[in-house]
Amino acid sequence: MMNETTESKIARLEYWKSAVEIEPMGGGMTNLNFKVTDGNQEYAVRLGDDDPVHLISRRNETECCRAAGESGVSPELMYSEPGVLVVRFIAGRVFDEADVRDDGNLSRIVELLRRFHQEIPQKFRQVPVMFWVFQVLRHYQHLLKEGNSRYRDRLTEFAGIAATLEKIIGKVNIVFGHNDLLASNFIDDGEKIWLIDFDYAGFNSPLFDLSNLASNNELTADQEIMMTEDYFGSSRNREHWRSYYAMKCASLLRETLWSMVSEIHSELDIDFPAYTAKNIERFDQAFDEFQSEYQ
């Protein structure tokens, strides 16, 4: 629920030209989101501080938001100050997982990702971060041990799996990745799909974004083939698929440990235990399939 301090903070921003109307919006697992009307103009406002628990730098997020807006893949950044982003409001459909699984939408998303991967570095003006999922997993392992997580009995197992997956993936190409491709980070305004939410954006392998998109939205095996062939422009060999599915398991393990850590540290009103259970099931299934096919 929006409190007076939050409302006052938004209302006092120097950017506004008149008294504003403020309406809370859903979404956001590490921030608060609002729709703000200033005269006849509408904006989306994100509030969030640096989050060392989840390795989130709001400075990096702000620069990525600016670069993505300049590239036309995300709404334009209109104003920022520490902990605050103001972007142009996009009136459209916020995707759910079924929307992402639509073949027509999926092809458009793949093209959007290709543009994001290639164009953001051309616009980025600061030193960006590197998002390497296995280092993130090591960070989460430490936090879960220190926090006496209720899943501590599986931490040694998870660490061993992560080390195996990292070796299997081996050398990678590097692009500028989004690294958090939940369905709700896509908005369709009827003419184009927009990509939002850059908490975790940074240089990474394209395999992470592709496998993250697939795992978060439960794409079918045929859709994964279509997605990768659309992205790379050709079919992939067995060694590629082995690396891809290893990264998919790593993506699911990251989402699982992210939720476990959030159970301990987050103050947002979200059912993290349910989200953890959902992702443990997805990870266990994916890793079992990976072992059966590739080990």
What residue spans of the chain are helical by DSSP H?
A: 4-11, 58-71, 97-101, 103-123, 133-146, 155-169, 206-217, 221-232, 238-265, 272-294
- How do beta strands 186-188 and 93-94 pair? antiparallel
Q: Where in the chain is the domain with CATH 3.30.200.20?
A: 4-91
Architecture of domain 4-91 in this structure: 2-Layer Sandwich (3.30)
Retrieve residue 108's tokens. Answer: 């458009």
Structure tokens at 193: 């799909």
Q: Would you give per-residue pLDDT tens digits along the chain (295 residues)?
A: 455 588 899 999 999 999 999 999 876 677 889 999 999 999 999 999 999 999 999 999 999 999 999 999 999 999 999 999 999 999 999 999 999 999 999 999 999 999 999 999 999 998 879 999 999 999 999 999 999 999 999 999 999 999 999 999 999 999 999 999 999 999 999 999 999 999 999 999 999 999 999 999 999 999 999 999 999 998 889 999 999 999 999 999 999 999 999 999 988 788 999 999 999 999 999 999 999 998 7
Question: Could you tell me where in the chain the CATH 3.90.1200.10 domains are found?
Answer: 94-294
Q: Which CATH superfamily is domain 94-294 in?
A: Aminoglycoside phosphotransferase (APH), C-terminal lobe (3.90.1200.10)
Maximum Cα–Cα distance across the chain: 62
